[in-house]
């Protein structure tokens, strides 16, 4: 796989950095997307061979275009960058919180994916992995699930943005299927990262990253338009 390339957004820390490390260990050249050049460079140094820094703020269309101009061919895109701004339910949130959350978690994915589609189309086996959340599952939100408390309506901006990301995953998969793309969403589970309040109770981010790696390296007869847990179990929409 020494001639294959990947881009992971939000890869200077957390699950994203673990995903980048695993892809590099598989022999891919991995662009480590990070808003801050210094943090991105430090992550590249920690990951080691195969890692390349790429300044990329998913909320900056001009910056996305500059980043895309630096990548000629791309085999794997992992849309990992995400934000969770508040645990509040919708009745205790304001529209601005939703706008800021969707700017990264939804609109940023559209901007980045579309900007890098020309590079992905140069790959014989293009793969897109969207890092979603089990809390985005409407089925799990209305039925008991051990990962979170059903019926609470908390973190409404984050959870609804990830539900929208799931819909985008299906639409991209349908649109790009005839070109050989595999587009899937990952539910990484509760992990000890900066994104999760009380993260100390979460599991190892590296475990979730292995789920992303599997979707990133799917064979040509693998699934597309699916929503999967880190352990390959299908997640209900």
**Thinking of the domain 5-229, which architecture would CATH place it in?**
3-Layer(aba) Sandwich (3.40)
How many other C-beta atoms lie within 10 A of the C-beta of residue 87?
A: 15
SS3 93: coil
Residue 146 has pLDDT above 70, yes or no: no
Which of these, 231, 196, 216, lies nearest to 14 by C-alpha position? 196
Pairwise CA distance, residues 127 & 134, whole Å: 21
Quick one: average pLDDT of 119-135? 97
What is the DSSP annotation of 49-89? TTEEEEE--TT-HHHHHHHHTT-S--SEEEE----------
Q: Is the pLDDT assigned to residue 149 strictly greater than 60?
A: no
- Annotated active-site residue 31? The verdict is no
Give residue-wise pLDDT tens across range 68-78: 999 999 999 99
Question: Which H/E stretch holds residue 111?
Answer: helix 108-120
Predicted local distance difference test score (pLDDT) of residue 142:
85
Indicate the domain borders of the chain. Answer: 5-229
DSSP lists the bridge partners of residue 77 as 7, 128
Q: Work out the mean pLDDT of the chain and round it to a whole number.
A: 92
Tell me the HSE value of 214 on the side-chain side, using a 13 A CA sphere: 19
How large is the average pLDDT for residues 119-137? 97
Look at 206 and 181; give whichever has higher pLDDT. 181
For the cut 80, the answer to whether the pLDDT of residue 88 exceeds it is: yes
Q: Which residues contact 40 (CB under 8 A, 6 or more apart)?
A: 11, 12, 32, 33, 34, 53, 54, 55
- 197 class by beta-carbon count within 10 Å (0-12 exposed, 13-18 middle, 19+ buried): exposed
For residue 87, pLDDT over 70 is answered with: yes
Q: What mean pLDDT is predicted for residues 173-191?
A: 92
Quick: pLDDT tens for 16-60: 999 999 999 999 999 999 999 999 999 999 999 999 999 999 999
What's the pLDDT at 70? 98
Confidence of residue 1 (pLDDT cuts 50, 70, 90): very low
Residue identified by tokens 């539900």 is 163
d(CA 142, CA 1): 42
User: Percent of the chain scored above 70 by pLDDT?
Assistant: 90
**Largest separation between any pair of C-alpha atoms in the chain:** 51
Say yes or no to pLDDT of 190 above 80: no
CB 162 within 8 A of CB 186: no
- If pLDDT is split at 50, 70 and 90, which confidence band does 152 have? confident
Weakest-pLDDT range from 43-47, 113-117, 143-147: 143-147
Measured CA to CA, the distance from residue 54 to residue 68 in angstroms comes to 10
Q: Please, what is the end-to-end C-alpha distance for the chain in angstroms?
A: 33
Whether residue 177 has pLDDT greater than 50: yes
Residue-level pLDDT at 100: 98
From the candidates 31, 102, 158, 172, give the one annotated as an active-site residue.
158
Using DSSP, state whether 166 is helix, strand or coil: helix
Q: Tell me what pLDDT residue 195 has.
A: 56
pLDDT at 97: 96
């Amino acid at each position: 796989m020494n001639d294959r390339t990947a881009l992971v957004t939000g890869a200077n820390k957390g699950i994203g950095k673990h995903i980048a490390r695993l892809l590099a260990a598989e022999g891919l050249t991995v662009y480590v997307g990070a808003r801050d050049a210094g943090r991105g460079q430090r992550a590249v140094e920690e990951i080691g061979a195969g890692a390349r820094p790429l300044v990329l703020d998913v909320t900056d269309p001009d910056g996305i275009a500059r980043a895309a101009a630096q990548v000629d061919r791309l085999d794997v895109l992992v849309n990992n960058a995400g934000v969770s701004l508040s645990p509040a339910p919708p009745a205790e949130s304001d529209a601005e919180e939703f706008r800021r959350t969707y700017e990264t978690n939804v609109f940023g994915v559209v901007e980045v994916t579309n900007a890098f589609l020309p590079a992905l189309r140069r790959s014989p086996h293009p793969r897109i992995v969207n890092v979603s959340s089990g809390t985005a599952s409407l089925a799990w939100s209305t039925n008991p699930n051990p990962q979170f408390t059903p019926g609470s309506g908390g973190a409404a901006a984050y959870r609804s943005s990830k539900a929208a990301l799931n819909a985008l995953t299906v639409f991209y998969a349908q649109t790009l299927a005839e070109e050989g793309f595999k587009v899937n969403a990952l539910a990484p589970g509760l992990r000890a990262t900066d994104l999760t309040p009380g993260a100390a109770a979460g599991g190892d981010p590296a475990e979730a990253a292995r789920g992303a790696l599997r979707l990133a390296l799917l064979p040509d007869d693998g699934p597309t338009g699916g929503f999967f847990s880190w352990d390959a179990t299908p997640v209900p929409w």
